[in-house]
Structure 1
């Protein structure tokens, strides 16, 4: 059973193949020309998607066609090239063209997940008895489409990560922000430091106040909580076992691209017609 439905996997890989063209099966510069045939990018990409969705180790998702060492080697090459960020950028551009990003209202929030193997993004988790954990700060638009992600150790506070999160959102977008943007944040950002940052970048602030129950002042920031639950649905994000920060960011943006394309297909299903259009909300 595939990790992702074909209606979702195919458009993602088409964009990925445009970013990373297939290389020849045999290296023409090899002196003997008798080395092993290069594994196709499609085979490795599907195994990486399986590792992302299920959170399995590379030894478990490896097959007779592709070893775990090949998966790791290709993963590091793609992560160093920044293909995860570029794939997510293409997904955002396609979503903006067909549906339109709601940039007038932004939300940001942090989420802590497990990082039991240590590494560049592992720190003492304040919500898991001091065990290794990773924090990601995600910025989303008014509907909950992920615009930018910043990863850090679990013991970092949300407020200092807000600048990097909005800067990452700006890098992923190909156009400028609207004239009026409102940032919806929870009580963890209720500080003068956050307000000074929002005034500096020209965003209006709607921040929940400390000491007031959340349901009374929920505002429009619930969409980022939903996006965090979408991202936590990926096993590799929920329990990060990689140690390299570039690989971790690759997985984060690959998951964000999957979430963006899924929402694009589901929302475009009732607006457009194409040959492989899903007839139900459940993608196949």
Structure 2
């Protein structure tokens, strides 16, 4: 069973392959001019997608076609070349060009997940008997497309992570004149309001003490995107220890989410040869 349907993976791979540097099939440094063939990049890409989706270890997903060492080495090679971050940026730009980002309404929220192996962005979780956990402060636009994130230990409060999360807006270019930021009651403080005012943003913050359904606003988009991220078991229970590797998997997941939303919404307005038969 594939990790994700081919109509979603194939366009991702086409763009991913275009970003990869040229590499010979055989290692030219071999004294006899021959060596084992280099494992095809598509095989390693599919393995990384399966690791992301199922959350299994590299050893568990390795087989005769590709070893766990090859997966790790190729992952680090692509990470050093910035391929994952560029893939996410291209997917976001494509969505903005075809569908359009809703940037006048954005939402920010934190989400705590498990990090049993500890690492650079892990800390004692206040909701899991102080076991190692990770918090992501996520920024999304009005439909729920992820725009950026900040990773921290699970013991960090949401409010101090708001400023670095909003810094992700600087990478998006021209912004609307009036932007409304939807936040939950964890951000209900004068410090948060001063921060938003200083950045020229309008805050719609849930008030402490009132039930969430009474004051539910645009925050449900970020809640839905958090559930999309948690559908990738690698992000829900992360054993990676290095922050840059975790960021790479988040960039890959963001690209999957963005392209899926792009294809799903463009199905009603555009036609192309490989368009899926049904909106999923």
TM-score with structure 2 setting the length: 0.97
Q: Distance in 2 between matches of 1:127 and 1:101?
A: 34
Question: After superposition, what is the alpha-carbon deviation per residue over 1:74-108, rounded to whole angstroms, capped at 9, x for unaligned?
Answer: 11222233322211111110001110000000001
1:1-284 → structure 2 map (5 Å cutoff): 1-171=1-171, 173=172, 175-282=173-280
Q: Tell me the SS of whatever aligns to 1:111.
A: strand
Q: Distance in 1 between matches of 2:78 and 2:150?
A: 18
Are 2:28 and 2:34, in contact at CA under 8 Å, matched by a contact in 1? Answer: no
Are 1:149 and 1:253, in contact at CA under 8 Å, matched by a contact in 2? Answer: no
> Structure 1: which 5+ residue stretches go unaligned?
none
Q: 1:247 to 1:123 in 2, by over 3 A?
A: same
Are 2:44 and 2:66, in contact at CA under 8 Å, matched by a contact in 1? Answer: yes
Q: Tell me the SS of whatever aligns to 1:139.
A: strand
Q: Which moved more, 1:62-71 or 1:190-199?
A: 190-199
Question: After superposition, what is the alpha-carbon deviation per residue over 1:25-79, rounded to whole angstroms, capped at 9, x for unaligned?
Answer: 1132443323322112111110000000000000111121110011111112222
Following superposition, the deviation at residue 22 of structure 1 comes to 4.2
Following superposition, the deviation at residue 202 of structure 1 comes to 1.2
Aligned Cα root-mean-square deviation (Å): 1.2
Following superposition, the deviation at residue 21 of structure 1 comes to 3.2
Q: Tell me the SS of whatever aligns to 1:109.
A: strand
Question: After superposition, what is the alpha-carbon deviation per residue over 1:145-167, rounded to whole angstroms, capped at 9, x for unaligned?
Answer: 10111111111111111111121
Following superposition, the deviation at residue 110 of structure 1 comes to 0.6
Q: Distance in 2 between matches of 1:82 and 1:155?
A: 30
Q: Distance in 2 between matches of 1:85 and 1:22?
A: 19
Q: Distance in 1 between matches of 2:169 and 2:110?
A: 15
Q: Distance in 1 between matches of 2:127 and 2:154?
A: 9
Question: After superposition, what is the alpha-carbon deviation per residue over 1:172-208, rounded to whole angstroms, capped at 9, x for unaligned?
Answer: x2x2111110100000111222112212221111111
Are 1:149 and 1:169, in contact at CA under 8 Å, matched by a contact in 2? Answer: no
Q: Distance in 2 between matches of 1:169 and 1:115?
A: 27
Q: Distance in 1 between matches of 2:94 and 2:60?
A: 34
Q: Distance in 1 between matches of 2:48 and 2:169?
A: 25
Q: Tell me the SS of whatever aligns to 1:144.
A: coil
Q: Distance in 2 between matches of 1:54 and 1:93?
A: 28
Q: Distance in 1 between matches of 2:133 and 2:78?
A: 24
> Structure 2: which 5+ residue stretches go unaligned?
none
